[in-house]
Structure 1
Amino acid sequence: MKIISYNVNGIRAASTKNFFGWLQATNADMVCLQEVKALPIQIPEIIALVEQLGYHHYWFPAEKKGYSGVAILTRIKPNHVEYGCGEEWIDREGRILRADFDDFSLMSLYMPSGSSGDERQVKKYEFMRFFDEYIGELRKEIPNLIVSGDYNICHTSIDIHNPKSNANSSGFLPEEREWMQLFLDNGFIDTFRHFNKDPHHYTWWSYRAGSRGKNLGWRIDYHLVTKPMESRLKNVRILPDAIHSDHCPVLLEMD
């Protein structure tokens, strides 16, 4: 089974860069999208393409047009789809969508960024505290859980191109990195690091100063899985040659 997570930074913009031709070539079974920035009613041509590729599709957009939003595309029809998490402000921003299958559940997650200022950083910390408790309760019902998406956090110094100069940057703050470590310690596996311990692997690059060409990036997109799923992991690859966004996709292969 192939599962892709991809912050597309606008599904309409990505579709003009042959996103769907690329997606067809991947032959992915399931796709978690973040920052779709569209309501399904706004994108009938894109919905048609998704269906032509054989996907069931589920969208949880933000109330604010052109902002945030997550989606799940899947060739296996889920038993249940959970839209949102029940926390009003988070659900208004379209940040959590979950599909439940026979023996596991898949979540598309888009964690807030704090880079626009102190107010949003405070909301990011609020989200992190809530998400900890939310996932803790969810795992009592669903032990086999995959949480795929844009966490907007670099976990360790090898996950960012210049850790010293970014020590005070949102996304690499000590409190954020500590949260990520505790989240993993509480029973999750960072699937990419499970297979690859090397530096210089990133999933997001600034549009400024030719950062992508120089590979001056951040690894902020993850497939995290609960530990009972460890034996099912086969491979994880970051796909930097897919250029439809300022992020790139991450591919998880599992039984």
Structure 2
Amino acid sequence: MLSKRGVSNSSTPESAAISEDREEIERIVTYGLGISYHDSEGRLVTAEFDSFYLLSGYFPNSGDGLRRLMYRISQWDPSLGNYIKYELEKLKPVILTGDLNCAHQEIDIYDPAGNKRSAGFTIEERESFETNFLSRGFVDTFRRQYPHAVGYTYWGYQHGGRKTNKGWQLDYFLISESIANKVHDSYILPDITDSDHSPIGLILQL
């Protein structure tokens, strides 16, 4: 609707501004990976800024019985890793954020011994996370800044949520190594309780 109004009434300042804003958004924002079987699930938004790309993602959950584990580790993770490495990073640094549905290290989950076959903490998912992202030049900003801190971002309602602090770190800011030294702070806001996930934040000095 906004685009149509902008075209049909382009002589008015207001509608011209709407059209220009829409065109600017369409120029800098793209959706998905350009691969239909991934993009049908609406898991990725890429925004281009002057000095970096910002990606917001919601990674697949391997699900009950790990029914989507193979899709996650053999299709989604490699496809996204390649998109970042070969299409984006050759142009400018990348910041990837969102619910990445993987507790990468034992410190990132409340009961590592009891969750080794739980979706989000299987060895397969953790190795895929390492192989497709961290080993390809991405930095976990929170963990680099606070290597020994327990910082959960998700508490399942079925376990009593935040009251029992049976949490997971599933939400991240991963950034290109080339701008890792620009991180001023990477933080979690656990006191904001509107969701089963906590907001996370990143401050860069570019």
Q: Is the TM value for this pair above 0.5?
A: yes
The Cα of 1:119 is off from its aligned counterpart by 3.1
Q: Using structure 2 for the length normalisation, give the TM-score.
A: 0.81
* Aligned counterparts of 1:221 and 1:179: Cα–Cα separation in 2: 16
Number of the residue aligned with 2:8: none
* Aligned counterparts of 2:28 and 2:84: Cα–Cα separation in 1: 17
* Aligned counterparts of 1:152 and 1:230: Cα–Cα separation in 2: 22
Pair 190,120 (structure 1): closer, same or farther in 2 beyond 3 Å: same
Identity of aligned residues (%): 36
- 1:166 maps to 2:115: yes
> 1:89 is matched with which residue: 10, 18, 37?
37
* Aligned counterparts of 1:217 and 1:178: Cα–Cα separation in 2: 21
Give the secondary structure class of the aligned counterpart of 1:178.
Answer: helix
* Aligned counterparts of 2:65 and 2:38: Cα–Cα separation in 1: 18
* Aligned counterparts of 2:59 and 2:181: Cα–Cα separation in 1: 27
Q: What is the one-letter code of the residue matched to 1:224?
A: L
* Rg larger for: 2
- 1:198 maps to 2:164: no
Q: Between the two structures, name the one with larger relative contact order (CA 8 Å, sep ≥ 6).
A: 1
Superposition map of 1:38-57 within 5 A = none
Q: Using structure 1 for the length normalisation, give the TM-score.
A: 0.67
Tell me if the contact between 1:203 and 1:249 (Cα under 8 Å) persists in the aligned partners: yes
Tell me if the contact between 1:78 and 1:99 (Cα under 8 Å) persists in the aligned partners: no
Give the secondary structure class of the aligned counterpart of 2:130.
Answer: helix
Superposition map of 1:113-124 within 5 A = 113-124=61-72
Tell me if the contact between 1:143 and 1:226 (Cα under 8 Å) persists in the aligned partners: no
> 1:223 is matched with which residue: 169, 173, 193?
173
Q: Deviations over 1:116-154 (max 9, x none)?
A: 334322222221122222222124433311001111001
Higher helix share: 2
Higher strand share: 1
Number of the residue aligned with 1:111: 59
* Aligned counterparts of 2:58 and 2:84: Cα–Cα separation in 1: 14
Q: Deviations over 1:81-128 (max 9, x none)?
A: 111111112211110111101111100011000123343222222211
Number of the residue aligned with 2:182: 232
Which 5+ residue runs of structure 1 have no aligned equivalent? 1-56, 59-76
Tell me if the contact between 1:153 and 1:172 (Cα under 8 Å) persists in the aligned partners: yes
What is the root-mean-square deviation of aligned Cα atoms in Å?
Answer: 2.1
* Aligned counterparts of 1:174 and 1:133: Cα–Cα separation in 2: 21
> 1:209 is matched with which residue: 159, 164, 177?
159
- 1:144 maps to 2:90: no
Q: What is the one-letter code of the residue matched to 1:117?
A: G
Give the secondary structure class of the aligned counterpart of 1:223.
Answer: strand
Q: How many residues align?
A: 182
